[in-house]
Structure 1
Amino acid sequence: MTRTRIRASAPDQACVDAVDLARAAAQELASPSEVGDHLGYEGEGDRIVTHYFTCLDRAYRGWRWAVTLTRASRAKNVTVSEGVLLPGTGALLAPEWVPWSERLQPGDLGVGDLLPTADDDDRLVPGYAGGEEELDQQMIFEYGLGRARVLSSVGRDQAARRWHSGEQGPHSPIAHAAPAQCSTCGFYWPLAGGLRQRFGVCANEYAPDDGKVVAADHGCGAHSEAAVMPPSVEQATPILDDLGYDLMEDEAGSVDESASEELGHS
C-alpha cells in the first residue's frame, strides 16, 4: 500500500510582498489611526496569504486586523479577498455561549412563552412506568389513557428539595413566627402519592400561601387553630384641672383650713 505525500506549498511571494495593499485594506475597515505594526503573515493555500496588523483601538486590546490577499493563476496583480478583526493572545472575549435551556431560570417564563421539554429529560418517565408512585387508580388512569409522561423519582426529589428550602418551607421567617405547623391546620390539603407525607396545598384564602404548595412543617399566622386574642382596651388619659380647687372634708365633716384660707384669698 502506497501513501500519498502532501507537500505544503510555499507562500506566494507576490502576496507576501503586498504588505502596503493589506494595510490599506485594513485602514478601509477601520481608520488609519487604528491599524498598527505589521505582525507577520501566514500562508493559507495556493496564492493565498493573510497579513496581520496590530489593532490600536483601545476597546479591542489584544485583537489584530487580518487581511487575506490572493492572486489568480498566471496573474501578476494581487487582490484583497477579505479583512476581519480577530482576537489575539490576551484579547478580551465574550463568555462562552450557553444554550437557552441552561440559561433559563425559574420565573423567566412569561405569558405566551413556550418551554419545550427534551425527550430524555430525567425528571420524567413514560406514563405507563408510573415512576415510584404506588400502583393505585392514578397509575391505572395514566396507563395509555392519560399523560404520556409522569414525574420520575429524580424529578420528584428535585421538586421536594426546592419546595422545602423555599419560601413555603420551614425555614422562612413567617414559618418561624407561626403558632403551629401546616400539618395541623384545617386548611392544609395533603398532596397525593409519594409526597403526601411532606407537602400539601394551602386552602385558606386569607393566608399568604393560598393556592400554593407548602411543606408540612411550614406555617403562618392564619392557622385554623390559632388562639384568638381579646381586643385590647385603650385607657383614657386623665384630665387634670389645675385652674380651681375642690373642697375636701375630713372624717369629722369640717373643711380643711388651708383650703378655706385659700378660698378666702381668692
Structure 2
Amino acid sequence: MSRQQSRKTKADPILFSQQAVDIALEALGEIADDPASLGEHIGASKVGELVIHRFLSQAPGYKGWEWIAALASVPGSGAITVNEVGLQAGKKATRAPEWIPYEDRVRPGDLGPGDTLPPRVDDERLTSWKDLGNNDGFPRNPSAPQTLSQRGLNEALQRWRTGAFGPNSEFAELAPMMCRTCAFYLPFGNEESNFGVCSNEFSADGRVVHATYGCGGHAETKDDTEIASTRAYGAFDDEGIQRFS
C-alpha cells in the first residue's frame, strides 16, 4: 500500500471512544508488572486503519515513557481488537546512557581484592623485550615475559608528575626542601630519572614522588621550636591557633 493510499484509509470512529480507551487500558494491565505504573490517557492517533492509544508511564526508572496500545476494528462491526501493546520512549524520555565497552569503563581505583583485570589485547603500555630499546634509566622487571613500553612509561611519568606527589602539588610548593636531598627518598635506577619512592612512614610512604616534590617531613628538617620535648619524636607545629580556657 502506498503512503497516499494509507492517508486515505479511515479508522472506525469506535476506536476513539471511551470503550476503546478502557479496552486499551485493560490490555496494558495484563503486561504491566504493577497496575499503578499505568498513568493517565494522554492521546490517540490514527496510523492507517489502527488507532494508537497512549498512556503516561508511572513505572520507576521510566520517566517520560509511554504505554501504547494499537487497536483495530472492522468498520460497522462494533468490535475492537487489540493488535499490539508495549512500553516505548516518549520525546523527553529518560534513556539509558550510551553503551560503553567494559574495557573503556574501568577507571583507576575500580580494581578491588579478588578482581581480575587482564590488559587489553592491543594494550600499548606493554611491549616485547626485543622491541623495548632504551629503557631511559628506569629498571624493568626482568622476570616478566613482556615489559613496560616507552609509551607506558611516558604515561606513568605524566601521571606521577601531575599528581599529588609531583613538583606542582600544594605540598611541594610549600616545602622548604626537596625530596632530592632527603634520606627517605629512594630514586629509581639512577638520580637522573627524577622519580623515586618515599620511605617516610609519616609522609608519602610507598608513593612514587618526584625529586622536586617536598614535604615537612624531610630528613634534614630541624626542630626550631623552643619547647623542650621528652618524646622520641620532635615537636610538631601545624601553625594552628591554640585556645586556652
Q: TM-score, normalised by structure 1?
A: 0.60
1:115 match: 117
Q: State how far apart, in whole Å, the 1-side matches of 2:184 and 2:226 are.
A: 25
**Which digits, 9 at most, give the CA deviation of each residue in 1:37-86, with x for residues without a partner?**
4433557xxx9x6834132649756432233579xxxxxx9865653211
1:39 match: 44
Q: Is the 8 A contact 2:178 2:214 kept in 1?
A: yes
The letter of the residue matching 2:211 is A
1:246 match: none
Q: Select which of 42, 63, 66 maps to 2:65.
A: 63
TM-fit CA distance, 1:36: 1.0
Q: State how far apart, in whole Å, the 2-side matches of 1:55 and 1:228 are.
A: 72
Q: Measured at CA, do residues 224 and 231 of structure 1 come closer, stay the same or move farther in structure 2, by a change above 3 Å?
A: same
**Which digits, 9 at most, give the CA deviation of each residue in 1:172-198, with x for residues without a partner?**
3332332311111222211138x9522
TM-fit CA distance, 1:126: 2.6
Q: State how far apart, in whole Å, the 2-side matches of 1:162 and 1:55 are.
A: 49
Q: State how far apart, in whole Å, the 1-side matches of 2:137 and 2:162 are.
A: 29
1:198 match: 194
1:219 matched to 2:214: yes
Q: State how far apart, in whole Å, the 1-side matches of 2:118 and 2:10 are.
A: 56
Q: State how far apart, in whole Å, the 2-side matches of 1:149 and 1:52 are.
A: 62
**Which digits, 9 at most, give the CA deviation of each residue in 1:157-186, with x for residues without a partner?**
221121112221123333233231111122
Q: Select which of 162, 183, 189 maps to 1:165.
A: 162
Q: State how far apart, in whole Å, the 2-side matches of 1:220 and 1:174 are.
A: 6
| Secondary structure of 1:189's aligned partner | strand
1:189 match: 186
Larger Cα Rg: Structure 1 or Structure 2? 1
Q: Is the 8 A contact 1:27 1:34 kept in 2?
A: no
**Higher deviation after alignment, 57-66 or 213-222:** 57-66
| Secondary structure of 1:24's aligned partner | helix
Q: TM-score, normalised by structure 2?
A: 0.65
| Secondary structure of 2:88's aligned partner | strand
2:135 match: 133
Q: Is the 8 A contact 1:62 1:90 kept in 2?
A: yes
Q: Select which of 165, 168, 176 maps to 2:173.
A: 176
Q: Is the 8 A contact 1:69 1:82 kept in 2?
A: yes
Q: Is the 8 A contact 2:53 2:69 kept in 1?
A: yes
Q: Is the 8 A contact 2:125 2:153 kept in 1?
A: yes
Aligned CA RMSD, in angstroms, stands at 4.2
Q: Is the 8 A contact 1:16 1:41 kept in 2?
A: no
Percentage of pairs with the same residue: 33
The letter of the residue matching 1:170 is P
| Secondary structure of 1:176's aligned partner | helix
Q: Select which of 142, 146, 149 maps to 1:149.
A: 146
Moved over 6 A (4+): 6-19
Q: Which runs of 5+ in 1 are unaligned?
A: 1-5, 71-76, 235-266
| Secondary structure of 2:135's aligned partner | coil
